[in-house]
Structure 1
Amino acid sequence: MRLELLRNATLKINYGGHVLLIDPYFAPRHSLPSFTGRSPNPMTELPRSIDDILQGVDLVIISHLHTDHFDSVAKERVLKSLPILCQPGDEGSIREAGFTDVTPLNAAAIWNDLTFTPRQGSHGLGPVVEKMGRVIGFTLEAAGEPTVYWAGDTVFYPPVAETIQQVSPDIIVTHSCGARWDGDLIVMDAEQTIAVSRLAPRAIVIATHMEALDHATITRQDLRQAANAAGIDSSRLLIPADGETLQLD
């Protein structure tokens, strides 16, 4: 398995002989409004061209329709005939954008010998969830590959812990920037990412969705310092830079 962090939640993964693109967010730096007044978004450029990113992609996964996970540029540039997996309820909007092969992940699904299983997530807790809307995570399995749990835009709460305990994934991908909306935490922060690492001592945790949006409160350095203080080894908690590729066997 090879995983490349492009920016924010956007990943390109080589897995089971296929190339997966997750949550394409292709907007140019500072082309979208600020969430907090601190900076226009996204705060960074893509590490390489969109043409390069799309080269070889076999399947696109869209976890939800927030613009930092599927934006107008991606709607224009992603090939309309590419197969797309999405959360139930989003398929109509994606088809309206011109995509012709859209499948909601209602239950475990097999695509070319890869098994995708939807997993619960919560984009915050309490009233903020109504503002954020529904989100989805998933687990990914294939013969000869590590089991992956992509948690998505969720805080650490009981269903996430239950997925980790039930699945025992080899790789866990978290969104760890500590983003807040009206003061409420809407994705994991350093403390919650460390809790994931402690719950899954045999897994490699990969912290993503960092330093791209102005409502984030945790930097890569903040997370590394907190993990070091908590005794979480850097070999178990990976914090890739934009454009960095990880080989995960």
Structure 2
Amino acid sequence: MQLELIRNATLKINYGGHLLLIDPYFAPRHSLPSFTGRSPNPMTELPRAIDDILQGVELVIVSHLHTDHFDSVAKKRVPKALPLLCQPGDEGSIRETGFADVRPLNETTVWQGITITPRQGSHGLGPVVEKMGHVIGFKLEAAGEPTVYWAGDTVLYPPVAETIQQVSPDVIITHSCGARWDGDLIVMDAEQTIALSRLAPQAIVVATHMEALDHATITRQDLRQAADTAGIDPSRLLIPADGETLHLEPVIRSRFAKHD
């Protein structure tokens, strides 16, 4: 398994012999409005050209329709013939933009030998959830590959902990920038990411969705310092830079060897 963090939540994953693109957000730096008045968004540029990012992509997954997960540039540039998985209820809006093969992830789906299972998420807790709307995470499984739990735009709450207990994932991908909306936490912050790491002591946690949006409150350095203070092994909590590719099989094999 190889995972490339493009920017924010946008990932390109080589999994089960196929290339998956998750939550494409292709807007140029400072081309979209601020959320908080601190800076126009996104605050960083893409690490490489959109054509390079799209090269070889075979499946697109869009977790929800917030602009930082599927923006107008992505809607134009992602090839319309590619199969696209989305959360139930978003398929109509996506089809209206010209995508021909849109499949709502209502239940476990098998695509080219990869099993994709939706998992619950909550974009905050309390009244803010009505403003944020519904979101999903998902589990990936394929022969010869680590089991992956992509948590998505969610805080740490009981269904996330239950997924970790039930699935025992080898890799957990979190959104850990501590974004807030009207003061309410809407994705994991450093404290919740550390708590999640402790819930899954044999998993590799990959923290993403950082330093791209102006309503974020946690930087990569903040998270690393907090994790170090909490005694979290840095080989178990990975915090990739934009454009960085992680080769996860050697890391996973090494961790399992330590526990044999």
Task: Determine helix, strand or coil for the equivalent of 1:38.
Answer: coil
Give 1:210-249 correspondences, 5 Å limit.
Answer: 210-249=210-249
CA distances 1:100-140 after superposition (whole Å, capped 9, x unpaired): 00000000010010000000000000000000000000000
The CA distance in 1 between the partners of 2:248 and 2:189, in whole Å, is: 24
Flag the structure with higher helix content. Answer: 2
Which residue type is aligned with residue 212 of structure 1?
Answer: A
Aligned-residue offset at 1:43: 0.1
Deviations 1:134-168 (A, max 9, x none): 00000000000000000000000000000000000
State the aligned residue count: 249
Aligned-partner Cα distance in 2 for 1:195–1:6 = 25
Write the deviation string for residues 6-62 of structure 1: whole angstroms up to 9, x where unpaired.
Answer: 000000000000000000000000000000000000000000000000000000000
Give 1:74-85 correspondences, 5 Å limit.
Answer: 74-85=74-85
> Which amino acid letter does the alignment assign opposite residue 151 of structure 2?
A
**Partner residue, 2:257:** none
Q: Residue 38 of structure 2 corresponds to which residue in structure 1?
A: 38
The one-letter code matched in structure 1 to 2:178 is G
- 1:220 and 1:109 map into 2 onto residues whose CA distance is 34
Which residue matches 1:6? 6
Aligned to 2:194: 194
Give distance in 1, aligned partners of 2:183 and 2:32.
21
1:38-95 superposed Cα distances (whole Å, 9 cap, x missing partner): 0000000000000000000000000000000000000000000000000000000000
Pairing 1:14-25 to 2, within 5 Å after superposition = 14-25=14-25
Structure 1 length as normaliser, TM-score? 1.00
Partner Cα separation in structure 2 for residue 175 and residue 75 of structure 1: 22
Deviations 1:178-231 (A, max 9, x none): 000000000000000001100000000000000000000000000000000000
CA distance in 1: counterparts of 2:232 and 2:150, whole angstroms? 20
SS at the partner of 2:210? Answer: coil
What is the CA–CA distance in structure 2 between the aligned matches of 1:137 and 1:104, rounded to whole Å?
13
Cα distance in 2 for residues equivalent to 1:139 and 1:241 = 23
**1:163 counterpart SS class:** helix
C-alpha distance in structure 2 between counterparts of 1:149 and 1:4, whole Å: 16
* Corresponding letter in the other structure for 2:220: R
Aligned counterpart, 1:159: 159
Cα distance in structure 2, aligned partners of 1:206 and 1:169: 12
Q: Could you say which residue in structure 2 is the equivalent of 1:150? A: 150
In the other structure, the counterpart of 1:168 is: 168
2-structure distance, mates of 1:78, 1:177: 26
**Corresponding residue SS for 1:43:** coil
Q: Mark the runs of 5 or more structure 1 residues left unpaired by the alignment.
A: none
CA distance in 2, matches of 1:21, 1:198: 28
Structure-1 residue corresponding to 2:47: 47
Counterpart residue number, 2:115: 115
Distance in 1 separating the partners of 2:90 and 2:136: 11
CA distance in 2, matches of 1:37, 1:22: 28
CA distance in 2, matches of 1:136, 1:96: 21
Q: Secondary structure, in 3 states, of the residue corresponding to 1:4?
A: strand
